[in-house]
Structure 1
């Protein structure tokens, strides 16, 4: 879930309450967070991400 920082606690609560697999990322941190998660998921390096 990408949302404004003030809504992050609300969305974390919803994910936990309804047992939804996922993560909450604020709008400002979304680009770097998503890059790191994609890299871990697919075993990519920073150079690979820049090529995408």
Structure 2
């Protein structure tokens, strides 16, 4: 059970890195920020 949460944390961080972030023409930043706290949460649960 702990391994799956740890693995989900790794997946969240990898997805946030792969998806990346960009700035549109209006200067608004678009990024999958929600994946970073979820990744830390899964790491804490899996520890």
TM over 0.5: no
Q: Which has the higher contact order (CA 8 A, sep 6+)?
A: 2
Q: Output the TM-score relative to the length of structure 1.
A: 0.35
Q: Output the TM-score relative to the length of structure 2.
A: 0.37
